[in-house]
Structure 1
Amino acid sequence: MTQRSELTLDDGVKLSVEIDGPAGADLTVVLLHGWCQDKRTWQHQRAALRRLGSHRPRVIAYDTRGHGRSGATRLDSATLGRLGDDLAAVLARYAPSGPLVLAGHSLGGMTIMEYAHRNPDQFADRVAGLLFASTTAEGHTHTRYGLPEPLAALMRAGETIGAGVLARSGAWCPQRALLPALRPAARWLLLGDGHPGDALDITMRCFARTTLRSIGGFRASIGAQQRLDTLAALGDVPAAVLVGQRDRLTPPACAESIAAALPHATLTVLPRAGHMLPLERPDEVSAALAAIVKQATRGLGAQRRRAARARRAAAHEQAA
Structure 2
Amino acid sequence: MSNTKRSTVVTDDGARLTVYTDGSSRAGVTVILSHGFLMTADAWRIQARELSARGLRVVRYDQRAHGASAAGEAAPTVDRLGADLAAVINATAPGGPIVLAGHSMGGMAILTMASHRPELIRSRRPRVALVSTACSRAQLVPGNHPLHWAKAAARASYSYPVCWLPPAADVVRRRLPSRHPWALRPDVQHHDTVPPPSRQAIRRTRTKQIAQLWKSLRTYTTADRLHALDELADQVEILTGELDDWIPLSQTRDLAQQLPNARLHPPVLGAGHRLPSDRTGHAAVTEVLSRMAEAALRGSESESTAAAGARL
TM-score, normalised by the number of residues in structure 2: 0.81
Q: 1:248 aligns with which of 211, 234, 245?
A: 245
Gaps of 5+ in 2: 183-195
Cα distance, 1:162 vs structure 2: 3.0
Cα distance, 1:32 vs structure 2: 0.5
**8 A contact 2:22–2:57 mirrored in 1:** yes
Higher helix residue share: 1
1:66 maps onto 2:56 in alignment? no
Cα distance, 1:18 vs structure 2: 1.1
Q: Provide the aligned length of Structure 1 versus Structure 2.
A: 290
Cα distance, 1:228 vs structure 2: 3.2
Structure 1: how far apart are the matches of 2:99 and 2:175?
34
Deviates more, 1:28-37 or 1:232-241: 232-241
How big is each residue's C-alpha offset from its partner over 1:154-190, in whole Å with a ceiling of 9 and x where there is no partner? 67766663341365656996486286698xxxxxxxx
CA RMSD after TM alignment = 3.1
Structure 1: how far apart are the matches of 2:228 and 2:141?
25
**8 A contact 1:245–1:270 mirrored in 2:** yes
Structure 2: how far apart are the matches of 1:171 and 1:239?
44
- Partner amino acid for 2:274? M
**8 A contact 2:82–2:110 mirrored in 1:** yes
Equivalent in the alignment of 1:220 = 215
1:10 maps onto 2:12 in alignment? yes
TM-score, normalised by the number of residues in structure 1: 0.79
**8 A contact 1:139–1:224 mirrored in 2:** yes
Other structure's SS at 1:271 match: coil
Write the mapping of 1:154-165 to structure 2, written as runs, cut at 5 A.
161-165=160-164
Other structure's SS at 1:229 match: coil
Distance 1:257 1:41, change over 3 A: same
Gaps of 5+ in 1: 183-200, 313-320
Equivalent in the alignment of 1:198 = none
**8 A contact 1:255–1:267 mirrored in 2:** no
- Partner amino acid for 2:242? Q
Write the mapping of 1:38-53 to structure 2, written as runs, cut at 5 A.
38-52=40-54
Equivalent in the alignment of 1:306 = 306
**8 A contact 1:117–1:230 mirrored in 2:** yes
Write the mapping of 1:143-292 to structure 2, written as runs, cut at 5 A.
143-144=141-142, 147=145, 161-165=160-164, 174=174, 177=177, 203-206=198-201, 208=203, 210-234=205-229, 235-237=231-233, 238-262=235-259, 263-280=261-278, 281-292=281-292
Runs of 4+ in structure 1 over 4 Å off: 145-160, 166-173, 178-182, 207-211
Cα distance, 1:203 vs structure 2: 4.5
How big is each residue's C-alpha offset from its partner over 1:112-161, in whole Å with a ceiling of 9 and x where there is no partner? 11111121111111132011111111113695266458778867766663
Q: Percent identity?
A: 31
Cα distance, 1:44 vs structure 2: 0.1
Equivalent in the alignment of 1:107 = 105
Cα distance, 1:77 vs structure 2: 1.5
Other structure's SS at 1:270 match: coil
Deviates more, 1:239-248 or 1:102-111: 239-248
- Partner amino acid for 2:18? S
